[in-house]
Structure 1
Amino acid sequence: MGDKRKKIGIMGGTFDPIHMGHLILGEKSYEQLGLDKVWFMPAGNPPHKKNRKGRASDEQRMEMVRLAIEDNPHFELSDIEMNEEGYTYTYRTLENLKEQNPDTDYYFIIGADSLYTFETWKEPLRICQACTLVVAVRNHTPVDELNREMELLNRKYNGRFIRLDTMNIDVSSQHLREWTVQHKSLRYYVPDKVIAYMQEQGIYLGGEE
């Protein structure tokens, strides 16, 4: 009898900043899918977010994620995409991981908003071949509408899309950055240790263009 395959969830994103919505999705994915670990993988230089003026530095984003997940034994911080030269692409990251770890199945966790733009991503077919896509409800997207879109993409790319059974979480990093500029409270939206680090570093107080 062969060894049991590992199941790793990947929470990708800029995490600028990381917030409770990210953490809840990671925890619910771990629970629902029976994952061994969930990796939080900050994107180094995502092509769809080229202008990063007024944002946290790569080092600050990494540290905010580290602080947010350090007390959860099945969450891990991955710096894989931070070490890439040029733009980072999901398909390339996943293919490299599969090649390096053939005994592991990867589950890439995205929000409903990302599902509707999935076909604009670089090499969607190769992404589907390299992982299972885990889709979380967001922005009050109707479940039946979400299911239709997942089924359409399943057929088109011969992929595997799973809907995450979790509550609708409407928290966005953009709103949190705006609140920081306006000196509004982030309490209960962002872990306390991350808020303290943001204040210490003065992150986002320069505003955005």
Structure 2
Amino acid sequence: MILENKGEKVRIGLFGGTFNPPHLGHQRAAAACVRQLELTRLLLIPAFVPPHKFMPAGSATPRQRLEMTEIIARKIPRAQVCDLELSRLGPSYTCDTVEQLAGEYPGADFWLIMGTDMFLSFHKWRQPEKIARYCRLAVVAREEQEKEKIQRQQIFLKETLGVESDVVSCPVTVLSSTQVRQDVMDGGGESELDEDVARYIQSHGLYQPSSRLEELGKAVREHLTEKRWRHTLGVEEVAASLARQYGVPEEEAREAALLHDATKCLDIQEQLKLCRQYDIIFDYGEQNTALLHGKTAAALAQDKFGSSPQVVQAIARHTTGDRDMTTLDKIVYLADCIEPGRDYPGVDRLRSLCRQDLDQAMIQALSDTIEHVRQKGGEPDRRSQEALDDLRSKKENGK
């Protein structure tokens, strides 16, 4: 898309974030950027799952975050919403976004807008030098005491990465989406939100306290490492997205994702103890003990958390697959393979397949896994091969 502005240079601001929810702090910062940078257009870009953090349980869906962002865009001069990153199942890397937008808006000047914390860590981002080729940075300084740190970082980024940057002054009350969500849960938060966003949150029942998913998340998190918990939240968000696309109850997908690795951090002796407690037959073979947590987590989901048979089965099958997999089974299996923290050869191709054809994505994922195990000198679990054969047969017969 080429923008015209009476012969003048087109100036575009890129304002990304989770917008979970968008609040008055976002609106004030965006309006200040439009005014002080003399922007032709401001693109508000909600992320699907940002690479630097994971969406907390009970968050608004990507579609709901998009719709709330559209509400505030109507109230910010020259602003519009860009859904580019919501179309990705993988993480929302800024370097990819700015490259794509530079191709869509040839000849435009870009400013990437961010808060102080993000600016101070910019050199640690993925391919910051690539971002610098396409954009100047615009850091929103909300407090006077931030400016000295910002100036030092400006010098550092200029000398090390050739980054050009500008400071936008926006002396407003510091707000965070985390605090706004908590205030809404506590029965307040209206003063921190646009009135139409507040009504949207209320009408959709967002950010309500003590939901089942929140309770499950709290229970599971106590038994996982920080890395494993981040993985779990990534699986939850992808599973929810796939559930919406393929017509599966989102609540079931989120529950199965939250519980799928509930016993992953237990050692083999603790796993075997659960096998005895729940009469689980250990038939994986010594080399495949890492797969056992699927069955033990499923047993806990049924016994301790009262999960439905559909959820229990999806958890049990997420490590190996099996014959006659349901759509929920496939979603949990694939979400585990492609959550934003995964980074291996072929993952982007698999993410794309998941959006196009769930069965073909399963065939690809199972084939890759079986081949990987064999290359390492192992013997794939029989259920994985049976699942693959079953899917291929149904595909060939048009079922």
1:200 aligns with 2:206: no
CA deviations on 1:73-100 (whole Å, 9 max, x unpaired) are 5110111111123111001100111123
Quick one: which amino acid aligns to residue 201 of structure 1? H
Contact kept, 8 Å, 1:29 with 1:35, in 2: the verdict is yes
Contact kept, 8 Å, 1:113 with 1:138, in 2: the verdict is no
Say which of 140, 147, 152 aligns to 2:151. Answer: 147
Q: Distance in 1 between matches of 2:16 and 2:33?
A: 13
CA deviations on 1:101-144 (whole Å, 9 max, x unpaired) are 22211111101011122122111111111101000114664312
Q: Distance in 1 between matches of 2:56 and 2:85?
A: 16
User: Could you tell me the TM-score, scaled by structure 1's length?
Assistant: 0.92
Q: 1:73 to 1:112 in 2, by over 3 A?
A: closer
Which residue number in structure 2 is paired with residue 128 of structure 1?
132
CA deviations on 1:138-185 (whole Å, 9 max, x unpaired) are 46643122111111112111011111122144011000111111112x
Structure with more relative contact order (C-alpha pairs < 8 Å, separation 6 or more): 1
- Regions of 4+ moved over 6 Å: none
Number of residue pairs the alignment of both structures matches? 207
Which residue number in structure 2 is paired with residue 166 of structure 1?
170
SS at match of 2:192: coil
Contact kept, 8 Å, 1:137 with 1:169, in 2: the verdict is no
Task: Please tell me the root mean square deviation across aligned C-alpha atoms, in Å.
Answer: 1.9
User: Could you tell me the TM-score, scaled by structure 2's length?
Assistant: 0.49
- Offset of residue 71 of structure 1: 3.5
Structure 2 unpaired stretches of 5+ = 1-6, 219-399
- Offset of residue 22 of structure 1: 0.8
Q: 1:181 to 1:19 in 2, by over 3 A?
A: same
- Offset of residue 28 of structure 1: 0.9
1:46 aligns with 2:50: yes
Structure with the higher fraction of residues in strand conformation: 1
Contact kept, 8 Å, 2:50 with 2:91, in 1: the verdict is yes
Whose Rg is larger?
A: 2
CA deviations on 1:28-62 (whole Å, 9 max, x unpaired) are 11111111011111011212223431111001101
Which residue number in structure 1 is paired with residue 88 of structure 2?
84
Quick one: which amino acid aligns to residue 170 of structure 1? V
Contact kept, 8 Å, 2:142 with 2:169, in 1: the verdict is no
Quick one: which amino acid aligns to residue 18 of structure 2? T
Q: Distance in 1 between matches of 2:181 and 2:164?
A: 34
Which residue number in structure 1 is paired with residue 181 of structure 2?
177
CA deviations on 1:181-201 (whole Å, 9 max, x unpaired) are 1112x2331100000110111
Quick one: which amino acid aligns to residue 12 of structure 2? I
SS at match of 2:191: coil
Which residue number in structure 2 is paired with residue 187 of structure 1?
190
Q: Percent identity?
A: 28
